[in-house]
Amino acid sequence: MTDYYLRLVELPRKVEGVSVLNDDGSFDIYINSLLPPRRRQEVLEHELAHIRREHFYLDMPISLMERQAEGEHVNVVLHPPEGYIPCFASEAALERWLRNLCAQQRLDLDSLYF
């Protein structure tokens, strides 16, 4: 389970929420205190979706991350750019990344040798 710290702060009106990855692998989630309670909950769920989908460890356009966090299925290639070494918060995160990559390439993960 990933640790996160929820912070209710006054942000500019156009900023509903933002998540920040900390050095220790935990996250700070900032929610705009100007929002009504129901919208705060929706924004929290959106920010948690970014964390669950490990958007902090992927090199993909923010617009696609936002669509994914809203629940839309977005078909993306998870190859890191040349010279980039992906970082994973856990072995489970690495496994999910490999499974997604294999599914996109139509490969059987169990047939790969490590």
**Contact status, residue 98 vs residue 109, Cβ threshold 8 Å:** yes
**Contact status, residue 23 vs residue 47, Cβ threshold 8 Å:** no
Cβ-proximal residues to 12 (8 Å cutoff; 6+ apart), any chain: none
Q: Which residue has the higher pLDDT, 73 or 23?
A: 23
Rounded to whole angstroms, the Cα distance separating 55 from 48 reads 10
21-49 pLDDT tens trace? 888 888 999 999 999 999 999 999 999 98
What was the pLDDT predicted at 50?
87
What was the pLDDT predicted at 1?
62
Q: At what angle do helices 37-52 and 62-69 cross, to 10 degrees?
A: 120
81-110 pLDDT tens trace? 566 666 677 777 777 777 776 776 667 766
